[in-house]
Amino acid sequence: GAGVSQSPSNKVTEKGKDVELRCDPISGHTALYWYRQSLGQGLEFLIYFQGNSAPDKSGLPSDRFSAERTGGSVSTLTIQRTQQEDSAVYLCASSPGLAGGDLFGPGTRLTVL
Amino acid sequence: AQSVTQPDIHITVSEGASLELRCNYSYGATPYLFWYVQSPGQGLQLLLKYFSGDTLVQGIKGFEAEFKRSQSSFNLRKPSVHWSDAAEYFCAVVPGTSGTYKYIFGTGTRLKVLA
């Protein structure tokens, strides 16, 4: 497809379980971002990948959160030992560079019971 | 610390009326400024952005925004609102030197349009 895709679109999990959220960026986009949108905190930056550089993890809320980007393309956000406060919509965006604009995916809605 | 303020949580306007959504930012230098729209259950769509130059920026769907450095504002406007404009609108800032889309978002303004 032409846009950023994310899977699953919805994920319901039990407290304490691990979850993996996937982002497929637009082909050729070197930059990839993860954001979280929650009722209490609004839209928050989580992590940023640019090419082969070390990721900017400054927005990750705890060490239960991690992300990787394989081959400069697909990215996976992993949340270990999920807590109820992790319930949110997780958004991914990709960009070819600042002047090229960025595009957001539809998000994954995570519900932790 | 850098911040973005959208003072109006909810705004209701009648279809055909004009619209202005407010956005103020706090940042030492001129940032890059953006407006996004999010329809229910949808992702974020870029309406317009300001990097430099002309302070009046035209965007998609008939929206425009004006950067006012003296007021640290970047208000979004539309002369005539359509029912399909009902959505949540987010103002966002990126430091001009960052070279990234590591946004700081405002808390959003939810727009309701009356028929």
Q: Is the pLDDT of residue B7 over 80?
A: yes
Query: In this predicted structure, what is the pLDDT of residue A100?
Result: 63
pLDDT in tens, A80-109: 999 999 999 999 999 887 666 788 999 999
Per-residue pLDDT of chain A (113 residues; tens, 9 = 90+): 579 999 999 999 999 999 999 999 999 898 999 999 998 778 999 999 988 889 999 999 999 999 999 887 999 999 999 999 999 999 999 988 766 678 899 999 999 99
> How far from the centroid of its chain's Cα atoms is residue A89's Cα?
9
For residue B50, give Cα distances in angstroms to B59, B70, B73, B87. Answer: 10, 16, 12, 21
pLDDT (tens digit per residue) in B11-70: 999 999 999 999 999 976 778 999 999 998 788 999 999 988 889 999 999 999 999 999
Q: Can you read off the two tokens belonging to residue B89?
A: 């609108």
Q: Which residues in chain B are contacts of A31 at CB distance < 8 A?
A: 100-101
* DSSP-derived pairing of the beta strands A10-13 and A108-112: parallel
- pLDDT, tens only, B82-114: 999 999 999 999 877 777 788 899 999 999 999
- Give yes or no for a cis peptide into A8 (omega within 30° of 0): yes
Q: Provide the shortest C-alpha distance from residue A60 to chain B (in Å).
A: 13
Quick check: B103 and A35 CB within 8 A? Answer: yes
pLDDT, residue A1, reads 55
Are residues A7 and A74 in contact, defined by beta-carbon separation less than 8 angstroms? no
* Inter-chain CB proximity B99 and A48 less than 8 Å: no
